[in-house]
Amino acid sequence: MYTLEVKNLTKIFGEHKANDNVSLQIEKGEFFVLLGPSGCGKSTLLRSVAGLEIPDSGEIFISGESVMDKEPGERDVAMMFQQATLYPNMNVFDNVAFPLKIKGVDKQKIEKQVTDALELVQIPEKRNSNIKNLSGGEAQRAMIARVLVQDPEVFLLDEPFSSLDHQLRVYMRKEIMRIHQKTGVTIMFVTHNQEEAMKVGDQLAIMNNGRIEQVGTPAETLQQPNNKFVAQFIGHPQMNFIPAEVSEQDGQLVLKVDSQTYGPIAQEDLIKQPESTDLTIGVRPEEVSVEKEKKSGEDKLNSKVEFTESTGANNYIHFDLGGASVQASVPEIKDWDQGDEVSVSFNKERLKLFDPDGERIK
Amino acid sequence: MAIKSRDRLLKYLVAPAIIFSFVAGVLPMLYALRNSFYNINVRLPMQTERLIGITNYKIILGNERFQASLRNSIVFSLEGTIGAVLLGLAIALFLYYFLRNKPLLLTGLSTMLLIPALTGRISVAYIWRLLYDPVLGLINHVLGLLGFGTVEFLSNSNIAMQSVVFTDVWQWSGFAALFLYAGLVSIPREYFEEAQVIGASFFQRLRYIIIPNLKGLLLAVFLLKFMISLRNFDLISVMTGGGPGTATETVDMYLYWLAVGGRGLLSRASAGAIIMLVITIVSFMIIINLYQRQKVGE
Ligand SMILES: Nc1ncnc2c1ncn2[C@@H]1O[C@H](COP(=O)(O)OP(=O)(O)O)[C@@H](O)[C@H]1O
Ligand SMILES: [Mg+2]
């Protein structure tokens, strides 16, 4: 039995399908991350789970029970909104105590639970503070505490840290992981930040245009993306995409980039046969190796360096292949200059191929 | 330098308003204050003006009809204000919960709600005097159809005041509702959704979210309506003339009668007006103080 299960959920706003036949399952204690660009329908999905949106079709189960007929308050979920929703007319303690007060929990228990929750999020000294006097991080902590005291089956967190500056966001991310490990709660966490998603998630669902493109562990989505969208969304720096034309030679596939050939690719490496000759090669900058001066051979492609780039920790050179700008990681930036001849080869095992629909076929 | 000259310009610009309010507002009040210590009677213009100290105050405070009129003023203003604010809040909540996403209906209804407030008080008074009429009135007609007997809304001294208050509430609650509705929509929606997920009932939301977030506005509307209520002369004069007997006579009406309508006791009426002024100022200070404290608390 899943703690949360969404089956074929569709939500339409006017003409726009905000959620398009979405299905997912979350196990008890899992840190489940819903990742996708802004506007892809993450909040809509979370709000449907909470009962704040009524889906057009599909079903939602919490602990095996359908919640479609239940009010938000009866669903045993707690939600942390994208916007700050601490009540300005209550201090920190009263805000955290609010859900308990609503449920009619007696005073002593409230006192204890709220004190514990404030301890856990490490702001016990702020219990009597006015909401207006909290820093961004403290406000987030108070909101987490308010979610914690509700002790629900599922915690729904909608981009909880997106309004914080980078440093604080990284810190709060660790905090939420610490709290997750300590309490073992089930979390559905929404973010548009792939780096954040990869770091915190046990399971990742990548969403685009209202659809779930792939569900898997961070490593799976990084190494075996279902399609081009996932491949380009996950991982930093971004994967290179190079247009190529495929042809068959002696039962093996050969790729043509510009007028150069690359291959062969073994048939048994393919997930499925290409239906079109126009494919896209996907290869990460770390999987591109480069050598100076022109070389020829089956696995070599030649180009000229367009520009070089250094982030301090990593160095990259950029060149053109098949009309696409390709980035390769190099050990020393000073070895390279604009206009240098470069001979390129790929880590063939890791190399991906996408068909024109974006589906991965290798 | 530039700032200084701008400050000076500001002073010149504000000056006419200050002078005007002084001449139009403060001077007559000072004149009334002066008069209240004299023995002026407009029916006896030849009588020599004489300073008689606080005699007028003593007499009028001991006068039962003045006391009754003071009670009526307070009842009318408080009931009318509380009634309009509460009914206004109820209407605003109705609009918020049921019509927020129906802009056409909302606009139509808002306009209708404003009409009573935009109608002159004298017209409203005549309309309702007719509505309440035992013979011609629509209300009694409907009551008759429902099998009830005739109700003497304005000539039964037990209910005349409540009938007038009802008219006043009717006139102003729509106006209050629009203010409060604007306040409601300005409360972040997430506050309500948060409460929804937590499982707060309607009354819990009202108590913990709506009222606290609207407190400042509620007080402001209260203040505004209270000010309107204190100027009740026209409405009550037309509807009941203060009757039956003196059942609906407010301080304004009594003082008018005292100074102009009846015995010409201008000085005594002035004393009454000053007493009313003091009561008004004190009650306003209390409300404004509450309002300020609420602002600071925010
Ligand atoms: N109440 C609504 N009415 C109309 N369109 C909406 C509403 N809520 C969301 N949308 C639209 O649905 C899409 C998904 O929105 P949302 O779920 O908020 O995306 P995300 O949280 O992934 O940024 C967006 O295009 C948004 O404009
Ligand atoms: Mg969102």
Domain housing B78:
64-297
What pLDDT, on the 0 to 100 scale, is given for residue B3? 63
Q: Is B186 on the interface with A (CB under 8 A)?
A: no
| Distance from C-alpha of A231 to C-alpha of A72, rounded to nearest angstrom | 36
Task: Assess if CATH 2.40.50.140 describes domain A240-354.
Answer: yes
Contact A92, A75 (CB under 8 A): no
Residue ranges for chain B with pLDDT beneath 70: 1-3, 295-298
B198 vs A contacts (CB less than 8 Å): 73, 78, 98-99, 102, 150
What pLDDT, on the 0 to 100 scale, is given for residue B21? 84
Contact between B199 and A52 using a beta-carbon 8 Å cutoff = no
A95 vs B contacts (CB less than 8 Å): none
Q: Is B197 on the interface with A (CB under 8 A)?
A: yes
Q: With bands split at pLDDT 50, 70 and 90, how would you rate the model's confidence at A326?
A: very high
* Whether the CB of A39 sits within 6 Å of ligand 1: yes
Contact A343, A294 (CB under 8 A): yes
Supply φ then ψ for residue A313, to 5 degrees: -85, -35
Q: Å from B295 to nearest chain A CA?
A: 11
* Whether the CB of A38 sits within 6 Å of ligand 1: yes
Angle between helices B211-230 and B64-94 (to 10 degrees): 140
pTM for the model: 0.81
What pLDDT, on the 0 to 100 scale, is given for residue A229? 94
Q: What is the pLDDT of residues A60-100, one digit of tens each?
A: 999 999 999 999 999 999 999 988 889 998 999 999 999 99
Domain A4-233, second-level architecture: 3-Layer(aba) Sandwich (3.40)
Is residue A328 over pLDDT 70?
Answer: yes
| Distance from C-alpha of A52 to C-alpha of B189, rounded to nearest angstrom | 11
Q: Å from A51 to nearest chain B CA?
A: 8
Q: Is B190 on the interface with A (CB under 8 A)?
A: yes
| Distance from C-alpha of B281 to C-alpha of B275, rounded to nearest angstrom | 10
Largest Cα–Cα distance of chain A, in whole Å? 80
What pLDDT, on the 0 to 100 scale, is given for residue B278? 92
| Distance from C-alpha of B295 to C-alpha of B218, rounded to nearest angstrom | 12
Of A74, A87, A89, the CB nearest to B199: A74
**For A193-290, where are the alpha helices, taking DSSP H only?**
194-200, 218-223, 228-233
Is residue A217 over pLDDT 80?
Answer: yes
Mean pLDDT (chain A, rounded): 91
Most B CBs within 10 Å, among A71, A89, A94, to test the B interface: A89
Is residue A7 over pLDDT 60?
Answer: yes
What pLDDT, on the 0 to 100 scale, is given for residue B297? 54
- Residues 214-233 in B contacting A (C-alpha not used; CB under 8 Å): 215
Q: What is the pLDDT of residues A232-267, one digit of tens each?
A: 999 888 999 999 999 888 778 889 888 888 878 888
Q: Looking at chain A, which residue has its C-alpha nearest residue B194? A: A85
Total domains in chain B come to 1
* Whether the CB of A43 sits within 6 Å of ligand 1: yes
| Distance from C-alpha of A16 to C-alpha of A14, rounded to nearest angstrom | 6
Q: Å from A201 to nearest chain B CA?
A: 24
Residue A182 C-alpha from the chain's centroid: 23
| Distance from C-alpha of A153 to C-alpha of A160, rounded to nearest angstrom | 19
Contact between A85 and B194 using a beta-carbon 8 Å cutoff = yes
Most A CBs within 10 Å, among B198, B202, B213, B218, to test the A interface: B198
Q: Which of A44, A48, A191, A192 for a ligand 1 pocket mutation test, highest count of atoms within 8 Å of Cβ?
A: A44
For chain A, domain boundaries: 4-233, 240-354
What pLDDT, on the 0 to 100 scale, is given for residue A294? 72
Q: What is the pLDDT of residues A8-48, one digit of tens each?
A: 999 999 999 999 999 999 999 999 999 999 999 999 999 99
CATH code of B70's domain:
1.10.3720.10
ipTM comes to 0.82
Is residue A271 over pLDDT 90?
Answer: no
- Mean pLDDT within A209-219: 95
CB environment A27-53: b (16+ within 10 A), e (fewer): eeebbbbbbbeeebbbbbbbbbbbbbb
Reported in sequence order, the residue ranges of A217-355 that DSSP labels E, i.e. its strands, are: 240-249, 252-257, 260-265, 278-283, 288-292, 301-310, 315-321, 324-330, 341-346, 352-354
